Amino acid sequence: MTLPDFSLNRRAFLGRAATGIGALALGSLLNPRMLGADLPVEEKWPGVVRPLHWPAKAKRVIHLYMAGGPSHLETWDYKPKLKEMHGKPMPDSFTKGQQIAQLQGKELKCFGPQHDFQKFGQSGQEMCALFPHLGKMADDICIIRSMHTDQINHDPAHTLMNTGSGIPGRPSMGSWLLYGLGSSVDNLPGYVVLTSAGKGGQMQPLAARQWSAGFLPGRFQGVRFHSKGDPVLYLGNPPGTTREDQRGVIDAINSLNARHHAATHDPEVLTHISQYEMAFKMQASVPGLMDVSTEPASALELYGAKPGDGTFASNCLLARRLAERGVRFIQLYHRDWDHHGGIKNDIKLKAGEVDQPAAALLADLKQRGMLDDTLVIFGGEFGRTPMGQGDGRDHHIKGFSIWMAGGGIKGGVTYGATDEFGYAAVENPVHVHDFHATLLHLFGIDHKRLIHRFQGRDYRLTDVHGEVVKAILA
Amino acid sequence: MNYFSSNSERGLLLAAGLLLSALANSAADSVSFNRDIRPILSDKCYACHGPDKNARKGKFRLDLEAEAKARRDEHFPIVSGQPAASGLVKRIFATDPDEVMPPPKSNSQLTPREKELLKQWIAEGAKYEAHWAYLPVTRPTVPSVPGAKSKIENPIDHFLLARQQAAGLTPVAEADRRTLIRRLAFDLTGLPPTAAEVGAFVKSKDAKAYEKLVDRLLDSPRYGERMTVNWLDLVRYADSVGYHGDQIISVWPFRDYVINAFNANVPFDRFTREQLAGDLLTNATPATRIASGYNRLGMMSTEGGIQDKEYLAKYAGDRVRNTSTVWLGATLGCAECHDHKFDPYSTKDFYRFAAFFADLKEKGWYKDGFDKGDWGPQLKAPTPEQQARLDAFDKQIARHTAALAAITDEKLAAGRAAWEAKIRAFDKGQKLTGSNAPAVKAESTAGTKLEVVKDGEILASGPLPAHDDYTVTLPARLEHIAGFKLDVIRDDNLPGNNVSRAGTSFYISEVEVTFTPDKKSRLQPVKISGATADFAEEGHPALATIDGNPRTSWGIGFLPGRSHNTTYTFARTLTGSPDAFFTVRIRHSPDHPRQHLGRFRVSLTAVPADVLTAVQLTGEARKEAHEKTIAKFYRTIAPELEALRSQLNLARAERETLTGKIPVSFVSESTAPRVMRVLARGDWMDDSGEIVESGAPHFLKQIVKPARATRLDLADWMTAPDNPLTARVFVNRLWKMYFGTGLSRNLDDLGAQGEWPQQLDLLDWLSDEFMTGWDVKHLARLMVTSAAYRRSADSTPLLEERDPFNRLLTRQSRHRLDAEFIRDNALAISGLLVEQQGGPSVKPVQPAGYWAYLNFPRREYASDAGDSLHRRGLYTHWQRTFLHPSLLAFDAPTREECTVSRPVSDTPLQALVLLNDPSYIEAARAFAEKILRQGGRGFDKRLAFAFETALARPPKAEEAQVLHDLFEKQWRRYQADKTAARQLLTIEDAPAPKNADPELAAWMQVSRAILNLHETITRE
């Protein structure tokens, strides 16, 4: 294309910026095609935390979000005592005065773990036997068995897990991270959301609020990629319009906009021009990203993915491709973990869907030397009761498990513990706020110093709480 | 994602204190507590030394003058006039990390300038002032501006010019008329002016042309629509409940109430009373009760396993946040768990405020929300015209029913005897199966693939045309056929609600039947005399499928997807034969594209066995019971009754259909007030807190009343002349609408953390003016007729340097249109816009699968058809958890919470919407057609027309050159590739012109370019 002549505008604009806006804002106002073309992306789109509060261990997150509330008792937290007590009344001392969801007013009976556990790896981490593939990665994984949260229903619990508050309207952790660190990629969104459903029947809804930027500017929001149709909404050109046609239209738009800027000196016009350039880049880069046909058959086999099937396995492979391209926060929602009934079979089904791909992701990252600076998180919004609900379990917030790997986290470690019934986190409890504080810490951010003012108040991802879990840092 | 700064970002920098305005007072000026000192103390000190007693450090508070100046141990923190003797000064200038305040660990550090200001303030006497926003509004004198060379239209200009003169600045000149009419049209109506309107205004010699234009726009019904967009953000209006399954609800009559109220210029105090307490007014009407739906606009949940009490607490908190923000610009919501950190609001104030709403009839857990659509009190409010029609139908139905009853069984005896004889004469020798034979064939008219899968069940697959009819053929091997049954079968493989191929429901407008008795005969139409469904959505009765009216239909609506059926009775019984067959044609509703049957079965029904048995019995064997059985059945087929039966069916179908169109909306209903307690740390499980009564925040004027203060009292209190907040809040927000920034920048917080208004005198003068009559249009007119409003948005280097953020209003501003108006603008420019005020929300085109993560019920978006695709953005269905993606991309809020000021971002996703969203592609085609139709001949004339239409100005030569090049290139390309031209011009739901004209295709690309310009979506 012919580049519009920016020379005059640039001078006029710099004049304005130098007097009015200040040198700090300058960098982010300039068009990369004008000035910053050779700068590293981080320099072009800086975050608000500059410099970092301390050196970062992690550069990106892959969050394997098991939506619906996975049972810790059939995954990462073995409770022989509960097995022994199966069918007997749950001791009143645990449950009295505690918040309960669907079991309100029902008789509370112990419900033993439905699957066996075994020890894996050198570290001998105890994990459910349904996860043999992840078992092979046990020495890279840190299991936290002492998570707890405040929200007992899916919707607010997801909102708390993602934003640090049960009240809608706050930014999600991915948005905070982008806001703090800036983007490290300029032809893809910095925060990408992928979703998969699975084959069970317990599909709890999922709101776009979970990846919303809340009160932060909209450009920090997560962008959901779709497995059907345009991977990013409105990505495809109109019918009968080739990439060259589109280039021609965008050139005309930008050329007229540049002239408009020359007349008005409105810096917003420059922003607008750059967004069209980036949109055009995305139109090429996203399909390339989604096209896994370039992957060797061995990679597909490793993950157990078929191109374009939209499964969790395919999403894990895409997550790795996104990570390679520099996307900062990658969130994979896998739904259908809400096992109020039939937990024995359903959890087996879920394990079958996620075990191999999640392990493949870890192995793949490791083999590429990327696990060191990629934080992988596996977990849901809450856990499930040690008390049975028929042949399933109810929502539970007093104790549950997640695991993390890579990105500055110690491998082969089990941290914290619930009591012998798996009811409450009793040893080294980790609240969602602590989890958030730790996450930011790994990125070189002091969670108490990443703030944004809204409605007269300084907000943080961790609100007024949060302690970094130092013991699990590598 | 990316990554450039925008207005809001510059705001951030400002707020972060990285930038000092060139206008900040020089140290020589005297210090004002409210302007200079409170913001520092509030931001840097109050968190530990402010109103929140639990967070207070060292038992010391700075927000109260007496305490700040009282002796502490051996020193005084503040000694008026003596900085050197003041502990505060020592501490803030200290270098010892243990000594210095704020502590080095804190996020709040004082800048050198702030330290100097605090010192200077103490030196000048350390005078405290009450917070400006809590002092009653007093009308300031309008300042005189001697020697002002700029135009003065009204007092607004006096206030602004006085301040500008003091700063030594001169405002820029008035904008040209083209800019003015476009600015006014967007600001007052949210739509652009037409080229003709621009022309007339530019040419007008009338000295009052501008004022007349303002009046015309304020009188336009579009004004109410424009004002409503912002109001709906504030009160968080949406068409779904928000929590969990985000079920769809009907509350659109509230939206229409707001439009009507703004258009009728309902005084703001009445507007307030009607929304907060429209149900409690002595002269409550359906309209005021619908207005009271305001209290019911918060999010609600039907999620299984939630605790009623917890959600009641959530809803109460939501109401306090909303009402206090909307009317008082107060962040009272911050006091739910602790006393407010910056403002005097206590936790008790929060719960006292919540107690105003304790009388609302509501549930925490709407257990039947999903299954039955029960979300608490609703009002059905038929329009007078609807009521008249309902009454007329009732009369008709009564008349027909009576007429039917008047034809007694005796009068039908002869006909019945003949029918019985026919039945008895039936030749059993044909060896009919006597049982039902499944369908053998199913065809569609528009390409849906239909196959009989098992037992006559038919499965639809393949293409999904917007409109399609199915025809099923089935053998008639029953002896005596009474009618047929249509089973709609749930299939988990079907999308959405599992009962149809799209959306959450199917809609069948008509069923038509033919019968072919044997090989020799022709097919004959069969009249249907009755239809009964096991379930029907309100407004969609089964009878609608036999009324001959394609606009009425049977469907199941937005409820859990289950199998359903309708049984049809023929107007006469038919006899089968080995060769006889039926066809049943199922016509889908044209108003619900794609919501077609996915899995279904059609099966014949026999004349009931007990009737047949009775008919065979004659003489002694036949008893009275047999007679009754036959007589009852015969009445359903008696030809003598057919005319009346048809009329009755028709009246019933129409009445039921009309019932579904009656506006339904949530309303407030008052009941015995719940006990409200202060919840310690906001914990809803803690019942130990103090019981509180409703009341105003303790530091403001109190409501004095022997009985419980109600929502109506709250409304009256908020709009009392001595309430210091309500008018200022509204004036400040309206100012932002017309000038781009509020007089106080923080529209949502007039508290200590808000911004000291740039011109409190002007804000107060306008607030006082507003309170005399609460006349919103008067206020709007004052603002937009001021000389300040009419200025050019172009700046000068001097003004840029001295006042980069234009806080002194020496010029106008540019800002991007809000999401809805970006859409409206494209529709208006292209000529597609359908202007129809009010009514149920509409569903424009949206990408498939966008709703895939909704559940309870599962659903798939089904876009509307026809006019509904081209309504203004404010009528778009507002799904809180998955807002329409092109609105969301342009920063429209989800309305889960109150939004006072939308953030403005510029992202590549927005570029993709304007470039590629089928709605904008369609607009580009329509615009291109309009240009060719109305733009005259030749490129230049046509482009001039296009620019006048989209930008209210002619193109510049260089712009014309760029677009001409684009046009030429595209024209050549589409001439060479007609297929591509046809593809571009083909738009779903809007058939392509017959010949795929390369010229039209090229103009379509030029139109896309124009619709994407920054200037097109910007109000200047």
The verdict on a CB contact (< 8 Å) between A248 and B9 is no
Instruction: Kindly state whether A3 is in contact with chain B, defined as any CB-CB distance less than 8 angstroms.
Output: no
Nearest CA of chain A to the CA of B284: how many Å?
A: 34
* Cis before B221? omega within 30: no
**Residues 6 or more apart whose Cβ sits within 8 Å of residue B233:** B893, B895, B898, B899, B900, B902
Which chain B residues are closer than 8 Å to A219 by Cβ?
Answer: 1-3, 905-907
The verdict on a CB contact (< 8 Å) between B984 and A240 is yes
Which chain B residues are closer than 8 Å to A216 by Cβ?
Answer: 903
DSSP line for B307-332 = -HHHHHHHHHHHHHHHHHHHHH---G
- 3-state SS track over A333-371: EECCCCCCCCHHHHHHHHHHHHHHHHHHHHHHHHHCCCH
Task: For residue range A293-341, list pLDDT tens digits in order.
Answer: 889 999 999 999 998 888 999 999 999 999 999 999 999 999 999 999 9
The verdict on a CB contact (< 8 Å) between A240 and B7 is no
Strand partners, B525: B514
Name the residue in chain A with its Cα closest to that of B687.
Answer: A97
The verdict on a CB contact (< 8 Å) between B2 and A278 is yes
Closest listed residue to residue A370, CA positions, set A404, A328, A406: A406
Task: For residue range A363-392, list pLDDT tens digits in order.
Answer: 999 999 999 999 999 999 999 999 999 999
The verdict on a CB contact (< 8 Å) between A275 and B911 is yes
Nearest CA of chain B to the CA of A167: how many Å?
A: 9
Closest listed residue to residue A194, CA positions, set A46, A344, A320: A320
Tell me: pLDDT of B811 over 80.
Answer: yes
Nearest CA of chain B to the CA of A408: how many Å?
A: 25
Nearest CA of chain B to the CA of A430: how many Å?
A: 20
Task: For residue range B897-956, list pLDDT tens digits in order.
Answer: 999 999 888 889 999 999 999 999 999 999 999 999 999 999 999 999 999 999 999 999
The verdict on a CB contact (< 8 Å) between A21 and B19 is yes
Average pLDDT estimate for A84-103: 89
Interface test mutation site (partner B, options A170, A234, A338, max chain B beta carbons within 10 A): A234
Window from A223-227, B103-107, B657-661 with minimum mean pLDDT:
B103-107
pLDDT number for residue B751: 85
pLDDT number for residue B76: 87
> What are the residue ranges of CATH 2.60.120 in chain B?
429-607
The verdict on a CB contact (< 8 Å) between A208 and B8 is no
CB pairs under 8 A between A and B: 307
Nearest CA of chain A to the CA of B279: how many Å?
A: 29
**Residues 6 or more apart whose Cβ sits within 8 Å of residue A74:** A113, A114, A115, A128, A130, A343, A347
Dihedral sign for Cα atoms in the order B149, B155, B157, B159: positive
Neighbours of A202 (CB within 10 A): 19
Distance, CA of B353 to CA of B337 (rounded, Å): 14
Tell me: pLDDT of A28 over 70.
Answer: no
DSSP, res A128: E
Distance, CA of B823 to CA of B931 (rounded, Å): 19
Closest listed residue to residue B362, CA positions, set B379, B381, B378: B378
Angle between helices A312-324 and A267-290 (to 10 degrees): 130
Average pLDDT, chain A: 88
Angle between helices B221-234 and B209-219 (to 10 degrees): 60
Strand partners, B458: B452, B600
- pLDDT confidence tier of residue B432, bands split at 50, 70 and 90: low
The verdict on a CB contact (< 8 Å) between B6 and A217 is yes
Strand partners, B568: B484, B531
For A39-115, where are the alpha helices, taking DSSP H only? 41-44, 80-84, 92-95
pLDDT number for residue B148: 84
The verdict on a CB contact (< 8 Å) between A182 and B3 is yes
User: Residue A378 is encoded by which pair of tokens?
Assistant: 């596996």
Instruction: Kindly state whether A8 is in contact with chain B, defined as any CB-CB distance less than 8 angstroms.
Output: no
Interface test mutation site (partner B, options A16, A230, A233, max chain B beta carbons within 10 A): A233
Which chain A residues are closer than 8 Å to B986 by Cβ?
Answer: 239-240
From A29, A208, A240, residue closest to B4, measured CB to CB: A29
**Residues 6 or more apart whose Cβ sits within 8 Å of residue A104:** B305, B307
Residues of chain A numbered 242-301 and touching chain B (CB < 8 Å): 242, 245-246, 248-253, 255-257, 259-260, 264-276, 278-279, 282-283
Window from A109-123, B416-430, B445-459 with minimum mean pLDDT:
B416-430
Tell me: pLDDT of B115 over 60.
Answer: yes
Q: Tell me, what's the ipTM?
A: 0.85
Task: For residue range B552-577, list pLDDT tens digits in order.
Answer: 999 887 666 789 999 999 999 998 88
pLDDT number for residue A21: 32
Average pLDDT estimate for B483-512: 89
pLDDT number for residue B783: 98
AA letter at B352: R
AA letter at A440: L
pLDDT number for residue B433: 60
The verdict on a CB contact (< 8 Å) between B7 and A268 is yes
From B805, B814, B896, residue closest to A169, measured CB to CB: B896
Which chain B residues are closer than 8 Å to A253 by Cβ?
Answer: 1009, 1012-1013
Helix or strand holding residue B670 (H, E): none
Tell me: pLDDT of A6 over 80.
Answer: no
Residue A68 CA neighbour count, 13 Å, CB half: 28
- pLDDT confidence tier of residue B430, bands split at 50, 70 and 90: low
Neighbours of B578 (CB within 10 A): 13
The verdict on a CB contact (< 8 Å) between A279 and B746 is no
Instruction: Kindly state whether A453 is in contact with chain B, defined as any CB-CB distance less than 8 angstroms.
Output: yes
pLDDT number for residue A453: 86
The verdict on a CB contact (< 8 Å) between A219 and B848 is no
Distance, CA of B392 to CA of B401 (rounded, Å): 14
User: Residue B356 is encoded by which pair of tokens?
Assistant: 């105003």
Tell me: pLDDT of A461 over 80.
Answer: yes
More confident residue, B989 or B153: B153
**B954 close to B944: Cβ distance less than 8 angstroms:** yes
Looking at CATH, the fold of the domain delimited by B429-607 is given as: Jelly Rolls (2.60.120)
**A85 close to A398: Cβ distance less than 8 angstroms:** no
Tell me: pLDDT of B997 over 50.
Answer: yes
The verdict on a CB contact (< 8 Å) between B896 and A223 is no
From B310, B752, B966, residue closest to A249, measured CB to CB: B966
Distance, CA of B753 to CA of B759 (rounded, Å): 17
To 5 degrees, how large is the angle CA B206–CA B209–CA B210? 150
Tell me: pLDDT of B21 over 50.
Answer: no
The verdict on a CB contact (< 8 Å) between B814 and A264 is yes
Distance, CA of B207 to CA of B216 (rounded, Å): 16
The verdict on a CB contact (< 8 Å) between B912 and A240 is no
A429 to A385, A412, B490, B750: CA distances (angstroms) = 17, 19, 46, 40
Share of chain B above pLDDT 90, in %: 71
Average pLDDT estimate for B444-472: 93
Tell me: pLDDT of B4 over 60.
Answer: no
R_g (Cα) of chain B, nearest Å: 35
More confident residue, B370 or B838: B838
